[in-house]
Structure 1
């Protein structure tokens, strides 16, 4: 398949993986990448869904997709194309290479019957024109644990905490993660092999910190939560000044979760706890004595695109009854454009094409942003991105599209 620039776009062959991966590393700054990371990426790559753009014998573009399943409001787990590994050589900008790759990936997702596509955007300005909306956010914090204390709930002392080698308890930790997947929109049901990503620990990327550590919470001998983290010793004029960097934390109940947070706050010789990519409604925010000294920061995370509007809107449930006709604009994937009638409630939904008059007009980008319940249609309307055509329709749909739990895409891909 050719592109507008005359380059050839074809499916990646296994023997082409190393130059393909090297091109990707160069496009993202050319930092040193470990052999461990390369091997893991190769084992997870779906070659039949990965693309290479060639200009003669020069590789000038990469992209691909993973076959994921994502939780949507209501708890259903929906097939999702996880768009990934996207790069274009700096020598081949503005020649249609990226557009051709994104076009092929969307056609493939549609053919496979995936109602959704999702990605993490290295540059947010790029993907809006392809119909992706910022649908999830993540929380970053840097907590002064010498001055911030925790008020933990009843039951925090019940779980037993113990150190464990991360690999030794991987299966049990994955079981905790899997139990949490249906509870929060945006979470991914991990395919076999993806559990290895949590253990990726190349020494050259630790920046002086320890190897990955793990502490688990147990009740009656069963693991009910875990925290994976690193520690880095530091000394200042006033004495010890170490840092804990949290990589991942999950728990099945409030007591286990609070016990893990209390542990992280109390590690000897550590005065700072850093975390990134946490849910914006993470429980620790309501346990701390001084949220200001935690320096919380919210930023965009997962971007979502509807590949099949009818199937996607039917797959989720709605907080309140809704009956609304959307006029959807989509220049990139015209099969989603047009009028769609959504009827739904907390028990289920149906979305079909209709000739009825539209109640709301918006692009597929805004529909993707609101889909998981983390961005309101009212907010998008205030920005001029959604137009109300029937009085009252905007508030009705905006409330219905909400989620009682903040959506969260838990890890990159």
Structure 2
């Protein structure tokens, strides 16, 4: 083999990106989208594998930050744009790129790495666990009514071009980030992502619009959406496609939902990516007519295990020794004492007897509080070594709100 791993150079971007495009089916992204990801890519920590002058493997890195239980926002390395050419499968290319990337993230001081998986079966062996889920719904507008929270009638709604109020919407989004684990803090450049709306990706839908929810001039919520009009002999059966829906209070959320639910000539309201505890579940009259679907979303893996576990708070006081296995990042292997609670935590190496034994991917899954350690134990992923330790740790790791990744990367 002549495979060569090297850091991505700016001059190599086009060939590198073309390889990625073909790995995902050969339909090129718009120039607007490609430019966005190029601008956000951390070239010094992105990699390609080359064979005879041609790229045959890609792995990109985005410098990001994610909210964790307790409201802190921690640095996280975003792993993205991962591919291996079909001609070079089973040659260890992905393993080589992933190992180099994780070593680099450790050197850079990120406690966590994150990704969204096109094929979930791939990433468990590299220590990633499914830490959040996405809820999608197709609500039958004609058969489902809404019960709205008090104050919804006092909200003023205004439809605008998304770009015209992007700055105010970004400021509201930033306020919401610490309130729910798994949300990404959007740094400079990321504000372009919610506005990305290439015509070729609309699949018959309209350009994106934005409705604002305000009270006395204060922005309390917004929704970005598109309309997909369709007709049948009996009449219209269009779809409202909701891309983003963020609100700072229940009244604003309810007013936005009512607006989206009531647009003329539409039969279906599609919410594509919502938290699994989204409030619409308690506002619809018939949840079965919402046709719910839940899928995996954000995958996390501790890079610096001690810093990751000390970086979040815990629902109750906890003092537990974890025996962690991590064959891919051996610096995380061994016993760690986690001591903390709602006010903060410390996680350090210890020689004390272990209370729980688990692989690092299980910790990644449980980290944001959306996956229970007890559930993982029932699947054989966590072993209780001291009676009572599992229940106490599972309660402490839990979150009062479900983790949620608002958008991909």
What TM-score do the two structures reach when normalised by structure 2? 0.99
Number of aligned residue pairs: 409
CA contact (8 A) 2:43 2:61 kept: no
Residue 360 (structure 1) aligned to one of 340, 356, 361: 356
1:276-325 CA deviation, whole Å, 9 max, x = no partner?
12111111110000000000111100000001111111111111111100
TM superposition shift of 1:275: 1.6
> In structure 1, what is the equivalent of residue 61 of structure 2?
65
State the secondary structure of the residue aligned to 1:129: helix
Map 1:70-219 to 2 at 5 A. Answer: 70-219=66-215
Counterpart-to-counterpart distance in 2, 1:33 and 1:188 = 23
State the secondary structure of the residue aligned to 1:298: strand
Q: Which runs of 5+ in 1 are unaligned?
A: none
> In structure 2, what is the equivalent of residue 379 of structure 1?
375
CA contact (8 A) 1:64 1:105 kept: no
TM superposition shift of 1:30: 1.0
> In structure 1, what is the equivalent of residue 262 of structure 2?
266
Are 1:242 and 2:238 matched, yes or no? yes
Which one is further off, 387-396 or 23-32? 23-32
> In structure 1, what is the equivalent of residue 406 of structure 2?
410
Q: Which runs of 5+ in 2 are unaligned?
A: none
> In structure 1, what is the equivalent of residue 220 of structure 2?
224
CA contact (8 A) 1:79 1:114 kept: yes
**Which runs of structure 1 show a deviation greater than 6 angstroms over 4 or more consecutive aligned residues?**
none
Counterpart-to-counterpart distance in 1, 2:260 and 2:127 = 40
CA contact (8 A) 2:2 2:52 kept: no
Are 1:292 and 2:288 matched, yes or no? yes
> In structure 2, what is the equivalent of residue 7 of structure 1?
3
Counterpart-to-counterpart distance in 2, 1:348 and 1:42 = 37
Counterpart-to-counterpart distance in 1, 2:401 and 2:194 = 24
Are 1:369 and 2:354 matched, yes or no? no
1:13-32 CA deviation, whole Å, 9 max, x = no partner?
11111111111111011123
Counterpart-to-counterpart distance in 2, 1:356 and 1:6 = 47
> In structure 1, what is the equivalent of residue 312 of structure 2?
316
CA RMSD of aligned residues (A): 0.8
State the secondary structure of the residue aligned to 2:347: strand
1:135-173 CA deviation, whole Å, 9 max, x = no partner?
100001111011101000110011110111100000000
Which one is further off, 92-101 or 215-224? 215-224
> In structure 1, what is the equivalent of residue 16 of structure 2?
20
Counterpart-to-counterpart distance in 2, 1:135 and 1:68 = 17
TM superposition shift of 1:6: 4.0
1:325-374 CA deviation, whole Å, 9 max, x = no partner?
00000000000010000111111111100000000000000010000000
What TM-score do the two structures reach when normalised by structure 1? 0.98
Which one is further off, 235-244 or 364-373? 235-244
1:166-194 CA deviation, whole Å, 9 max, x = no partner?
00000000011100000000011111111
Are 1:401 and 2:388 matched, yes or no? no
State the secondary structure of the residue aligned to 1:372: coil
Counterpart-to-counterpart distance in 2, 1:35 and 1:114 = 31
